[in-house]
Amino acid sequence: MAEGTQQHPLKIYFFVWTLLFVLSAFSYGVDYLQFEGYLRWSLIILFMLLKAGFICAIFMHMFWERLPIIFAILCPCCAILVFVFIMWNESYYTLLIRKLFFMITGS
Amino acid sequence: MEQSTESVQVTIPPNKGMVSDWASDQKAFKGVPWGKAMMWIFLVSDTFVFSIFLISYMTVRFSTKAEWPNPSEVFALHVGHVSVPLLLIAIMTFILITSSGTMALAVKYGYEKNRKKCAILMFATAVFGASFVGMQAFEWTKLIMEGVRPWENPFGAPQFGSIFFMVTGFHGTHVTIGVIFLFIMARKAWRGDFDTGRRGFFTSQKSNYEAVEIMGLYWHFVDLVWVFIFAFFYLW
């Protein structure tokens, strides 16, 4: 086999394909059934991560790659989570300052 | 390794070699063609671009005093007299997943050097992608007619418009570029460039089926980004 070629049975692609359809239907269902609050947010995140994971692992073949490239791709992405955390705090600070400003100026 | 045409072989996950490969001479990413490694590096940088968009969306949504518009109502479509929430967005999501599936199969047949199936499936992927862009154009038109602008909208917080146009616009651009490349790749595959190793017009490198897998990575990434946009922008 040439360098980097992989062969996988059709079955796994159809399985993941179907699974992605089902998960998308579920995440649409979250909105259609009007779930609210923590139930809604946790279900959205759960279905999102499952879909992203299956696309990445099977469709993008990351599951069959060697560890060095997997880490080279996934490790930098952890920095994003740090940035999310920073900006999450920052946004509440901005909101607080805004509220104070509007309170003082009376607008 | 012996290549069998009868039964399809499954590669055993070679997810090992963390220290030995990194410490080895010349090449850290063993078994990864350079084009594929470069595409992955591009995708990581693109991940950062889209994360920054989504993080800025989170920041403005949390820090605005005005009520955020309910996307479930903003993006609802009327079927007869019934208002169905997020109908168009749901259809777009299913179309993008369908296209991802056809692309995955195109990559599979690319590995097997099945010229016709590979070309047809890539063409199908391009057509699904084009219909996605068409629906996005329809959605933009609908919202612009309703008075949504990057600086104001009739539903609530003015930041909604700017985030909507920026995030979906940038994603739509990616889809459009992907569609153009898919048509080019489908034509190349159909003509047999990957079998004959014909030199590319632009790069003058010999073509081979690795290009299909690299195209696939890009296309799946576009689908991956939509998963996040769908979750955070449309559903949240």
How far apart are the C-alpha atoms of B164 and B147, rounded to whole Å?
13
Lowest mean pLDDT among A9-18, B13-22, B201-210: B13-22
Asked if the Cβ–Cβ distance from A83 to B111 is below 8 Å, we say: no
pLDDT band at residue B15 using 50, 70 and 90 as cut-offs? low
Asked if the Cβ–Cβ distance from A8 to B11 is below 8 Å, we say: yes
Asked if the Cβ–Cβ distance from B58 to A84 is below 8 Å, we say: yes
Query: Shortest CB distance from A102 goes to which of B43, B65, B210?
Result: B65
Q: Nearest chain A Cα to B34, which residue?
A: A4
Residues of A in contact with B228 (CB under 8 A): 48, 52
The confidence score (pLDDT) of residue B73 equals 85
- The answer to whether the CB of A58 falls within 8 A of the CB of B25 is no
Average pLDDT over residues B145-151: 92
pLDDT at B1 over 80: no
ipTM of the modeled complex:
0.91
pLDDT at B6 over 90: no
Share of chain B above pLDDT 70, in %: 94
pLDDT band at residue B29 using 50, 70 and 90 as cut-offs? confident
Helices A67-105 and B34-63, packing angle to 10 deg: 20
Asked if the Cβ–Cβ distance from A71 to B3 is below 8 Å, we say: no
Query: Shortest CB distance from B21 goes to which of A13, A48, A66?
Result: A66
The confidence score (pLDDT) of residue B4 equals 46
Lowest mean pLDDT among A81-90, B12-21, B24-33, B193-202: B12-21
pLDDT band at residue B2 using 50, 70 and 90 as cut-offs? very low
Average pLDDT over residues B70-84: 85
Q: Residue B171: in which H helix or E strand, if any?
A: helix B159-191
Residues of A in contact with B210 (CB under 8 A): 4
The confidence score (pLDDT) of residue B45 equals 96
What chain B holds in terms of domains, given with CATH numbers, is 41-235 (1.20.120.80)
pTM: 0.90
Residues of A in contact with B44 (CB under 8 A): 73, 76-77
How far apart are the C-alpha atoms of B197 and B193, rounded to whole Å?
6
Does A77 reach chain B within 8 Å, measured CB to CB?
yes
The confidence score (pLDDT) of residue A66 equals 84
Backbone CA torsion sign across B202, B206, B209, B213: negative
pLDDT at B9 over 60: no
